[in-house]
Chains A and B, each alone.
Chain A
Amino acid sequence: MEDKNKSGQEQKGGLKRRDILKGMASVPVLGLFGYEFAKSESLKKKAEPPVNMLKELGLNQELSFNISNRGTGKPGNALRLGIIGAGSRSQSLLFHTGFATRERLDGMDKEQMERWMDYKDLNVVLTGVADVFDLHAERAMDAARHSVKAMAGEKNLPKVKRFRHYQEMLASDDVDAVIIATPDHHHAHITIEAIQAGKHVYCEKAPTRTEEEIFQMEAALKGAKPVYQLGHQIRHNPIYPFAADLVKKGVLGQVNLVETTTNRNTSRGAWVRHLKGDGTPRPGDPRSIDWDQWLGDRPKVPFSIDRYYNWTKYWDYATGLLGQLFSHEFDAVNGILNCGIPASCMCSGGIYYYKDGREIPDLMQAVFEYPDQGMTLIYSATLANSRSRGRVFMGRDASMEIGSTLSVIADRDSEKYKDKLDKKLIDTSKPMFTIGAGGADATTSATEKYYADRGLTSVSIGGKSMDVTHLHLREWLDVIRNGGQVSCNIDWAFQEAITIQMAKKSYLEKRQVFWDPVKRQIV
């Protein structure tokens, strides 16, 4: 080493100025590092968002469950429930009121069991089961025997009775309130008969199958004492009231376009349900199914396992996509905007993929116009593609997407947020805020995932998970006992049913239809 030798000779091992300079050669680099580091840190500090948008916009910082809890009386004064229609949906409704089949109980882990046992405070018993299919009726009877009350060791619980015909149940003094989860063609007339028999009603959507039925139902419920709740559990997903609040506070500006969608791509999602996952047929034959009762006032046709399980495919029993899925979409939108019945509707579509003899379309677009509110609602659906399209509310100042979570993105041309946009306090490439964590439990099928994504299953807030169906049923029971208003009463049901019927009429007649608010009819 040339340098070292030289300096060694010069200094005889001692330190020279030259060595000190060489030894500290990198100190200026360290200085440069310090300067750059300080600069980068101060830039980072400046870049941190100094505004809490929720606070800024006057919105709640946290979500909370609306748990109806005004008292459920002494254990001896349990409310006596009857279930009419004990198919797949009813299993979930019963589970969330505290009745589970042995099989379901055995499959639950400790945490699920604890959560379920919390339903004990509903103080209800299941005393009646009415279903046309022996197997389904037996399953509900099994659930009735495995109630939270029974699991908690409560004695002398009333026995559950199977009624061969729902009318026998309505005539019975052993039932105070009924949950109706039949196919759609039975919803309206059973609701009316139940109300007239003095029973409280929780009925699944869609409220009715026809236009005529909703007027009959409205008349029957006017001034009636029993409580009617339509089964739109989304009302109890806390982000929906939050969304209604933010729209009211003008966070989105004037909402002018709302787009709601359905995309599913499984045969189950398209209501082909008479086969099990492994391709073998599901049970059911004319001996175990009371086919005449199932048909009711519908045209007499020979027993058909296809019609029994896949009734949604036929206009005789349902309204297809409209009653099954758009109904949830409409309720979500109406609950947020309170937009009511549209002035007009244009609906088109067709049977594009499922050429299995069905009558209802598997692809549909419907445009609902609200000229007085300066708004249009679009529903677009396909049963042959599973791309996830959200539910979007578009306003002059921001757009909101809402499903199991809610996020709001500022509009880049917004006047309201211009100042913050100019100062780069708001970035239009990402939400101003996102709220709500989809707390869906492990979902097992594509169809379940669809419901979870749209906010219709369980919700988790701060580690506490609750099922929205339970909350919605709980509210109904609470109003029965303590009075007040349910969140999805006949007025909401009326608006929804009319809107569905407008779309159905438009689709079938291939023309735009209008709502005449004076004559109160679809023209």
Chain B
Amino acid sequence: MNISKTQSVSLFLLRVFIGWHFLYEGLIKVLNPDWTSAGFLSQSKGLFSGIFQAIAENTSMLHAVNFLNQWGLVIIGLGLMLGLFTRLFSILGMVLLLLYYLATPPFPGLEYNMATEGSYLVVNKNLIEAAALLLLSVFPSGEQYGFDLLLKKKTTKQ
């Protein structure tokens, strides 16, 4: 794949910023013993709201989801920042964001009691960030500036 230096630096910036965002979202949840996704899940609306609300009401499921979500965010964040297993973490991050999106889709007629900034119709920031991760998953950004480059070199060497 032929990528100019400007292009790879742009992809690098996008990847590091998304990684930064994931890592911070994960860490503040890990560090707050009272954090739970129950509130978010319980006000789910739209097609899949039944599943999300069922999770919120089931204690053990909720625990598992909380754990997976906060540590998932941390690990995906670290991976994206460092450019390690970039494709895998891009896809995982995208899945996570799409779950958030599906839990509270900004469709006309659906209203949420959450503090939101900005105004959204169908497309919101979760969806945009997911699309950005889709983009990263199809460009080998980690192999230009990231630990994936080191991995690749090592394997090529052998």
List A residues at the B interface (Cβ < 8 Å): 1-4, 7-8, 11, 13-15, 19-20, 22-27, 29-30, 33, 37, 41
List B residues at the A interface (Cβ < 8 Å): 1-3, 5, 12, 16, 19-20, 23-24, 27, 31, 78, 81-83, 143-150, 153-154, 156-157
A25 B81 Cβ-Cβ under 8 A = no
Which residues from chain B contact A24 at a C-beta distance below 8 Å?
147, 150
Which residues from chain A contact B78 at a C-beta distance below 8 Å?
30
B12 A26 Cβ-Cβ under 8 A = yes
Which residues from chain A contact B31 at a C-beta distance below 8 Å?
41
B154 A15 Cβ-Cβ under 8 A = yes
Which residues from chain B contact A23 at a C-beta distance below 8 Å?
83, 145-150, 153
Which residues from chain A contact B145 at a C-beta distance below 8 Å?
22-23, 25-26
Which residues from chain B contact A14 at a C-beta distance below 8 Å?
153, 157
B83 A26 Cβ-Cβ under 8 A = yes
The residue on A at minimum CB distance from B4 is: A2
A19 B149 Cβ-Cβ under 8 A = yes
A29 B153 Cβ-Cβ under 8 A = no
Which residues from chain A contact B3 at a C-beta distance below 8 Å?
1
Question: Among B12, B24, B154, which residue has its beta carbon within 8 angstroms of that of A33?
Answer: B24
A27 B82 Cβ-Cβ under 8 A = yes
**21 CB < 8 A contacts A-B:** A1-B2, A3-B144, A13-B153, A14-B157, A15-B154, A19-B150, A22-B145, A23-B145, A23-B149, A23-B153, A25-B83, A25-B146, A26-B19, A26-B83, A26-B145, A29-B16, A29-B20, A33-B23, A33-B81, A37-B27, A41-B31
A29, B81: Cα distance in complex, Å: 8
Residue from B23, B31, B156 having most chain A Cβ neighbours under 10 A? B156
A20, B153: Cα distance in complex, Å: 10
Which residues from chain A contact B148 at a C-beta distance below 8 Å?
23
Which residues from chain B contact A41 at a C-beta distance below 8 Å?
31
CB distance from B75 to the nearest CB of A (A): 14
Given the contacts A15-B154, A25-B12, A26-B82, A33 and B20 also touching, CB distance less than 8 Å: yes
A2, B145: Cα distance in complex, Å: 14
Which residues from chain B contact A19 at a C-beta distance below 8 Å?
149-150, 153
Which residues from chain A contact B16 at a C-beta distance below 8 Å?
26, 29
CB distance from B94 to the nearest CB of A (A): 20
The residue on B at minimum CB distance from A21 is: B145
List 9 tightest A-B contacts by C-beta distance, closest first.
A25-B145, A23-B150, A13-B156, A23-B149, A13-B157, A15-B153, A29-B16, A26-B81, A26-B16
Which residues from chain A contact B144 at a C-beta distance below 8 Å?
1, 3-4, 22
Which residues from chain B contact A15 at a C-beta distance below 8 Å?
150, 153-154, 157
Question: Among B12, B81, B157, which residue has its beta carbon within 8 angstroms of that of A30?
Answer: B81
Which residues from chain B contact A22 at a C-beta distance below 8 Å?
144-145, 149
A23, B82: Cα distance in complex, Å: 8
A10, B77: Cα distance in complex, Å: 33
Residue from B12, B82, B153, B156 having most chain A Cβ neighbours under 10 A? B153
The residue on B at minimum CB distance from A12 is: B157
Which residues from chain A contact B81 at a C-beta distance below 8 Å?
26, 29-30, 33
A281, B150: Cα distance in complex, Å: 88
Which residues from chain A contact B19 at a C-beta distance below 8 Å?
26
Residue from B3, B12, B82 having most chain A Cβ neighbours under 10 A? B82
A37, B12: Cα distance in complex, Å: 21
CB distance from B65 to the nearest CB of A (A): 24
A30, B19: Cα distance in complex, Å: 10
CB distance from A189 to the nearest CB of B (A): 55
CB distance from B14 to the nearest CB of A (A): 12
Given the contacts A25-B145, A26-B12, A30-B82, A8 and B150 also touching, CB distance less than 8 Å: no
Which residues from chain A contact B150 at a C-beta distance below 8 Å?
15, 19-20, 23-24
Which residues from chain B contact A20 at a C-beta distance below 8 Å?
150
Question: Among B1, B12, B27, B146, which residue has its beta carbon within 8 angstroms of that of A1?
Answer: B1
The residue on A at minimum CB distance from B2 is: A1
A4, B2: Cα distance in complex, Å: 10
CB distance from B157 to the nearest CB of A (A): 5
